[in-house]
Structures are given as structure tokens and as C-alpha cells.
Amino acid sequence: MMQDQTVNINTFSPIVPITQPTRRRNRRNKNDWKGVKPRVYLQRWVQLAYLSLLALLSDWVCFSLAAAPEAFENYYEGKSSSDLIDIFLFTNVASSFLVTDIVDRYGMQRTMQFAAALMTCGCWLRSGFGMIFDDAGTTTLVGYPFVIFGTVLVGAAQPFFQCTPPLLSAQWFASDERATSTAIALNFNQIGIATAFLVGACMATSVEGLQRYNALIALLSTLTMIGVFWHFQELPSFPPSTSELEKLLDGKKDPPFFISAKKFFTTPGFTRPLVAFICSITVTNIVGAFIDQIMARGGVVEKFHVALAGAAFEVAIVVGGVIIGGYVDKTKKYKRVTLICLLLSVILLIPLGLTIHSIGKSPILLVLSLTGLGLLAGPIQPINAELAVDVTYPGDEIAVESVQQIGGNLISAILVPLAARASQKDFDLLLKFPALASDIRGDIILLITLTLLTCWYYSGFNAPLRRTIADRNDSEVREQSTQDIFDEGLEMGRLLHDDSMELQVV
């Protein structure tokens, strides 16, 4: 097997011609992996880029009208743009139950190609296949049933982008890169929401603007789909970590989703990262859903300024995930980092609920707290997605993330209407100190209570990090692997030099 290897100069890794698998893991005979050392490839960043772009586009569609719903609601009388979000989320939850088994049967490459095509079809249905004009030359939009059907297609495709980041990280990234790569792919949908805030606020203000806006999304989705079909690969030639190599050597097939999920809930340590993940996604979803009300409490009411604040919050989630996720990659301090993020999130939530009085009318404090909340609350999701995979190793990564996404979206759906009602109630704070007195809204009290309860429950985490243990000597193995390739290259160069000298002598 090792005789036909060639050296990739960019990655210092051998490229081995392989056939595409029909199963996610059992690509080769188990004996083929004996003696193999972990290696990483530049292609891993291409894989991550496409998965992140797909996540961005899918959430852009979901929240495409959040910043400017008036033109849509005026055209489709009696229809609310928020109804499309509900339809999208419920379709997302239903589809999440299928992701694990579909990827297991058809592999990542074919599944991503299918999901990208499904999303693209949904985007074109929503756009009406471009600019549509009636006989009088008046601009019209596609019929509402087409909008619904297109939304359902995109909602069904999104879980394939949301539930697969931990698997992509395990299959392509080294053990000290996984939390970072998962954070990028898992939170890049927040960039889609930020894009919806900014671009939607500028374009979706009229019927003509809505047409161009939807056509733009459909065009970008098409280009991304073409790239996925052209560049997205199934698996690297060699695994990137010792833990992934051990799974390949073990050769066991992952069980169906429901069997895996049942086993996870009996695994020590699984429920605590699940609760932390649910808390994080609920906090960020509710804050994002009521961003206009939250900004109004601080005196920020101009629509574009609200959109900028919302975009800053979503971008901060991604930036925080990369920075904090990178730290966790190096230290594996999942519990300590999560507890710090939860406690600081409680402090940063408080200014978002303040209203009236002096502190409640401070736009600077509000924007700083909002951005800080994104930096700290957002990374809790990818960190605990990786922690859940770590404690359930060698369990199915997609099944782990599917359980977390289902739980997070369901709890969010339940708490959003409760938060809407609670936001109408005020509670006085520090009335005896006029300079500090303020009111705090009930929705923020709800989120603070949720976060404190999560922090209390999460503090009891005490479970072995099974995958980290398997990867204990991973960095040394990779360094030795790289040195071996350099040595092989030097030896080949020496032999070629000797041959050329002999030819000159002859």
C-alpha cells in the first residue's frame, strides 16, 4: 500500500488514489490502517469553507425578512414574515432526525451535494425564478404557496449543515484544531443572520427590491452548490488524529440514530454539555429575535442602526467561537471555560433588560453588552458540542450534534413566546439609589434564570474525556510523521543526485 505514495509539498502528506466509499467509515479493510500515522491536509479548510457557506446561506434564508418585513407583509396581505421562520424551524427539527442515518448510508460528500441542491431549489422557488412581470408590466412576486414550499426545502436542508460539523472536524482536523473548526462551521450561520439584517434592511424594502434580494440569494446558493459538487470530498487519505485512527481500526458501524441517542443519555457526562448547548442557543436565538425591542430600550430605534447592532452581535458569536474555541483546543479545559462564559453571560444580559431611568437609556452600554454577550455566549455551543463528542467517544458525532440541535431548537421554540410575554413586564431595581435606579424587563430575567440554572447544573460535570485520552500522544505522532516524510524526501533527493553524478561520469 505504501509503495505508490507521492508527496504533497503543501501538506507533507502522501496522496493515495482511492475509490469513493458507500459508507462513512468503512472505506478500506481494517488491516490497511495498521502502521498508519495521523496526517492533515490543506483540503480540510476547503471542506470547512463549503460547510460554513452552506450554513450561512441557510440561515440567511430563514431570517431574510427579519430586518424589513413590511414590503413582504404588505404584498402578501394577512401573512407574517415570522410565520416563515416558524415553518423553517419546525421543518429543521423534523429533518434533524434523519441526518445521522442518511450520512451514514451515503457519506458526507453525496449528502452535502444533495442538501446543497435541495437548498438551491428552495431558494429559486422563493425567488420565483428571477424577475417576474405580468402583462401590464407591473412587478409581481411568486405565489405564497411557492414561498412556503421553498422555505420547507431550505429548512429540510439546513440540519445537514448544522449537525455535521463535529463529524467534519473528527474526519479532517487534528485533535488541537477540532473545537476551532467546529466553532467556525457551527456558528457561521450567525454570519447568515447578520447578512440578513444588513442586506435585507437595504434591499427588501419594496416589491422590486424583494425580487432582486431573493434572486441574489438564489444565485449565491447556486454558485455554492456548483462548488460543492466540484470540490467537496468524502474523506482524507489518512486520518488526522489517533482517536479517528482507532475508530477506523475498530471497524464498527455506528448504530441508527435512535439507538445512539438512547445510549448517549446513559453515558456519564453527556447531559451537562447538552444543557449548556441548549442554554446557549436559546439565549442567542431569543436575543436575536427581539433585537429591535432590546435596542429600543437603550434608545436605539433607527432601523439601520438596529441592523448594525444585530449584525455585530452575530459576528461576535463567530469571533468568540474562534478565539475561545482555539484556547479550548490547546488546553481541553471545557468545564472551566464554559462556566466562566455562563457566569459572564449573566452579567452581560442585565444591561439588555434595563429600561427607563439613567442606565437603561445608555446606547453605548447596551451595544457593548450585546457584543460581549455574543463573544461569550456563542462559543458555549461549539465547545460543548466537542465535549459531548469527547465523552461519548467512539460514538457517532452526527448523532450527538443532532440531539443537541433538536433540543436547542425545541426549547427555543417553547421559550420564544414566553419571552415575548415576559418582555411586557417591568421589575424595579435599586430604587433607593436614584443614580443607579432602573427597570429590567421580564424576558431578560427569564434568560438570566435559565443561565444561572444551567451554570449550577453544569458545575457538577465530572466525566472522563475519552477522545482526549485517545489523542494524548497525537501531536508527537504527527510531528514524527512529518519528519518521516522529510527524511523520505531527503533520501530521494540524495539518490537522484547520486544517479545524476553517475550519468555525468559515464
* Residue in this structure with the C-alpha cell 407591473, named with its chain if needed: 138
Phi-psi region of 78 (alpha: psi -120 to 50; beta: other; left: phi over 0): left
**254, 381 contact by CB (below 8 A):** no
**Res. 14 pLDDT band, cuts 50 70 90:** very low
Task: Name which residue leads in pLDDT, 429 or 211.
Answer: 211
Q: Which grid coordinates belong to 234?
A: 468524502
User: Which among 411, 469, 384 is positioned nearest to 286, based on CA atoms?
Assistant: 411
d(C-alpha 187, C-alpha 318), whole Å: 5
pLDDT grade for 5, boundaries at 50, 70 and 90: very low
Amino acid at 363: P
3-state secondary structure of 108: helix
For residue 59, what is its C-alpha cell? 440561515
Least confident piece of the model among 295-304, 329-338, 356-365, 480-489: 480-489
| DSSP result, 304-364 | HHHHHHHHHHHHHHHHHHHHHHHHHHHH--HHHHHHHHHHHHHHHHHHHHEESTTGGG-HH
More confident position, 289 or 151: 151
Q: Evaluate whether 290 touches 419 at the Cβ level (below 8 Å).
A: yes
Q: Are 329 and 177 in contact (CB under 8 A)?
A: yes
Q: Is 299 left (phi over 0), alpha (psi -120 to 50) or beta?
A: left
How large is the average pLDDT for residues 119-146? 74
β-strand pairing of 438-441 with 6-8: unpaired
> What is the amino acid identity at position 366?
L
Alpha carbons 296 and 495: distance in angstroms, whole number: 73
Residues 273, 407 contacting (CB under 8 angstroms): no
| Predicted pLDDT at 364 | 81
Higher pLDDT, 111 or 142: 111
**Average confidence (pLDDT) over 139-158:** 90
State residue 428's pLDDT score: 64
Cis ω for the linkage preceding 145 (within 30 of 0): no
37 near 218, Cβ under 8 Å?
no
Looking at residue 253, the DSSP 8-state letter turns out to be P
Mean pLDDT highest for which of 27-41, 198-212, 334-348, 475-489? Answer: 334-348
d(CA 87, CA 233): 32
pTM of the model: 0.78
Percent of the chain with pLDDT over 90: 42
Query: Grid coordinates 482526549 are at which residue?
Result: 468
Supply the pLDDT for residue 473.
60
Residues 130, 344: Cα–Cα separation, whole Å: 46
Among 413, 395, 396, CA closest to 92: 413
Question: Looking at residue 24, what is its pLDDT?
Answer: 47
Q: What is the pLDDT of residues 287-333, one digit of tens each?
A: 887 887 888 777 777 878 888 888 899 899 989 999 999 999 889 99
Q: Sorting pLDDT into bands at 50, 70 and 90, what band is 433?
A: low
User: Element (H or E) spanning 429, and its range?
Assistant: strand 426-429
Range with lowest mean pLDDT among 222-226, 410-414, 469-473, 486-490: 486-490
Which range in 240-249, 379-388, 497-506 is most confidently predicted, on average pLDDT? 379-388
Packing angle, helices 165-172 and 178-187, rounded to 10: 150
pLDDT digits 0-9 by tens, 386-404: 999 999 998 899 999 999 9
DSSP-assigned beta bridge partners for residue 354: 440
